[in-house]
Amino acid sequence: MLFKEENFKDLQPGTTYKEVKFMYEFIKKHKLKKGLEIGHRQGWSTIWLSKALEENNGTLYTIDIKNWKNFRENIEIAKVNPIDFIGNTQRKDGINFIEENKPYDFIFIDGNHSYGGFNNDWLISKKTINDNGYIFIHDIKGAGGVDKGIERFCKEKLSFLIPVKETTEEFFKDKPPFTRLGYVREIDIP
């Protein structure tokens, strides 16, 4: 295991070990260089995404609306160097940060989980993702308005969203084929 939760400060992980490990390995396998994370909280997903990109000689850009107390300290413990910004993806400051650093080889959406918040982050991701890039979405089932947003944008055709089955059994034991993490290839977006 690359990083253990107990070595960090109050991480409050929003993603599971299997989910971050999947994204870490995916970034390495696809040799992705530039990523954007929307919603870093105390840095749990940030350290994995950043580590993978840095091992590919790349960089993670990450934004959160809140200046979380231990985020910077956790980044330093992990010895990773993401470029972080405190801002709102639904306001000019956050939009500017995202647009100034585009395009991204992947984007991880894990920010505002309301229907409107997800819609906003989905639209800005579509605008700033690289050709052949990947958009990861967290909480594709069972949290806030994210699933409704996905249905709307897929026009009820969920076929282009690829669920990460490896992480399924943790949260939806009784409802397989649902999963919390999925991704979309830019070339498949309708």
Ligand X SMILES: C[S@@+](CC[C@H](N)C(=O)[O-])C[C@H]1O[C@@H](n2cnc3c(N)ncnc32)[C@H](O)[C@@H]1O
Binding interface with ligand X (CB under 6 A): 13-15, 38-41, 44-45, 63-66, 88-90, 94, 110-112, 117
Handedness of CA 148, 150, 156, 162 (dihedral sign): negative
Of residues 117 and 149, the one with the C-beta less far from ligand X:
117
- β-pairing verdict for 59-64 and 129-138: unpaired
Which of 42, 31, 187 lies closest to 110, judged by CA? 42
CB of 44 to ligand X, least distance (A): 4
CB of 174 to ligand X, least distance (A): 23
Of residues 13 and 103, the one with the C-beta less far from ligand X:
13
CB of 187 to ligand X, least distance (A): 26
DSSP 3-state of 140: coil
Residue 136 pairs with which residues in a beta bridge?
Answer: 108, 183
Of residues 38 and 135, the one with the C-beta less far from ligand X:
38
